Amino acid sequence: MDPIGRTLLEQAAQLAAHTEDAPRMTRLYLSEQHRGCGDLLIAWMTAAGMTAGFDALGNVVGRYAGTDPAAPALMLGSHLDTVRNAGRYDGMLGVLSAIACVAELNRRGRRFPGAIEVIAFGDEEGVRFGVTMIGSGAMAGRFRPDWLDKTDRDDITMRDALLAFGADPDGWPALARDFAHVRAYAELHIEQGPVLLEAGLPAGIVSAIAGSTRVMVDLAGRAGHAGTVPMNARRDALAAAAEMVLAGENVAREWPTPLVCTTGKLDVNGGAINVVPGKTTFSFDVRSGDDAQREAAVRELRRRCEEIAARREVEIAWQTLLELPAAPCDGALRATLARAFETESVPVTELASGAGHDAMSFSGRTPIAMLFLRCGNGGISHHPDETVDADDIETGVRLFGRFIEMTAGETPAGETTAGETPAPHTAVVG
């Protein structure tokens, strides 16, 4: 087992000890476990040569100073919160890898004109308050003050939770970055899927983070006795829902570009074993890296659902909960990652991310890049069986370190050092 890989696995195990329901892994935003995890990260960031601490919303921010205060900073990060009954590596491995890269730079005495920031965002998953990407959203200037009134399942508001944490609920405006002074945002993350595993590759370059449309569908038919209502007289809301769920699967399979459709929630109102269901509610989550294709697929899915509802004589109410656009990764940064892969003799491959990530918050604000690492156990994630190999971690740290040096060491576009003539290159600034 490689020393870097072993070290990061051990650190991930230490962070995993900060859980509210051991032996399960659950760490929610602004919890006691968030505090304990953040304290560890601050210690490791400090040991790596950074100044570090919690910000106003409970993000952990480490800063490795540059030589020129006016030069744009490179932002690196991922999240420290989890879903319930989670794995150890989603989010946290990206933070630990970024710290390891900065620690190596510090060991070598290597600094760049611009600073490097390593950020462990307090909430990406949205489990506690039902709002996702709170920390990265604030830094991207996308925070909404009404989020402070959101409540958790114990009716604690986000505002009160921030105060109890020792944070500052009114300090969020100051977290928004001036992207004229940001070079880019980059994130290392486990793939959370089987593509790299099945291809036999340790790492890949993310081409885009898929956009998502989330919909709730309410169906109203007519309840009746299971033994007395003839089949041809039924207005069965659950049977209609079942046909619509299959329509979603069929639309996703028929579409020309990669697209997925998932029904993750289904509720039969007042369901009983001997009653024809009269009301049913269910969800659709449609994702694609191509927004136009996703939007067209959702329109087609709605058309098919309305046709099914009319044929089965049930009423349908279609509510769109979320429209999240796709976040394409920057072409120049992807080319820089490809050069890092080639330098480290790792095969270059690109793949889209079907899962959302903090990088999405910065899309349109500054160039973004993502590096994926292979997962084991069939690519399972958001589950205790989530795993990653130590050798793959070592490969990922090498690749990410190369990328950081290639990106942070470039002169920003339009700038030259004394005596140089501007020339095309692949560095991009915000």
Q: What is the pLDDT of residues 245-269, one digit of tens each?
A: 999 999 999 988 789 999 999 999 8
Average pLDDT over residues 353-365: 94
The pLDDT, as a whole number, for residue 235 is 97
The pLDDT, as a whole number, for residue 2 is 55
Minimal CA–CA distance to 186: which of 74, 90, 52?
A: 74
Could you tell me the pTM of the whole model? 0.84
The pLDDT, as a whole number, for residue 350 is 96
Q: What is the pLDDT of residues 32-80, one digit of tens each?
A: 999 999 999 999 999 999 999 999 999 999 999 999 999 999 999 999 9
- pLDDT of residue 418 exceeding 60, the answer is no
3 state DSSP class of 103: helix
Measured over all CA atoms, what is the biggest interatomic distance in the chain, rounded to whole angstroms?
A: 91
CB atoms within 10 A of CB 411: 16
Q: What percent of the chain has pLDDT over 90?
A: 90
- pLDDT of residue 294 exceeding 70, the answer is yes
Average pLDDT over residues 170-183: 97
Mean pLDDT of the chain: 93
The pLDDT, as a whole number, for residue 425 is 24
Looking up tokens 């160039």, which residue turns up? Answer: 367
- Give the burial class of 189: count Cβ atoms within 10 A of its Cβ; 0-12 exposed, 13-18 middle, 19 or more buried: buried
Q: What is the pLDDT of residues 192-217, one digit of tens each?
A: 999 999 999 999 999 999 999 999 99
Q: Report residue 323's pLDDT band, with 50, 70 and 90 as the boundaries.
A: confident
CB atoms within 10 A of CB 55: 19
3 state DSSP class of 125: coil
The pLDDT, as a whole number, for residue 257 is 77
Q: What is the pLDDT of residues 403-417, one digit of tens each?
A: 999 999 864 443 333
Domain 3-209+327-408 sits in which CATH superfamily?
A: Zn peptidases (3.40.630.10)
- pLDDT of residue 424 exceeding 90, the answer is no
User: Under CATH, what is the fold of the domain 211-323?
Assistant: Alpha-Beta Plaits (3.30.70)
Tell me the domain boundaries of the chain: 3-209+327-408, 211-323
Are 314 and 220 in contact, with CB atoms under 8 Å apart? Answer: yes
Average pLDDT over residues 290-318: 97
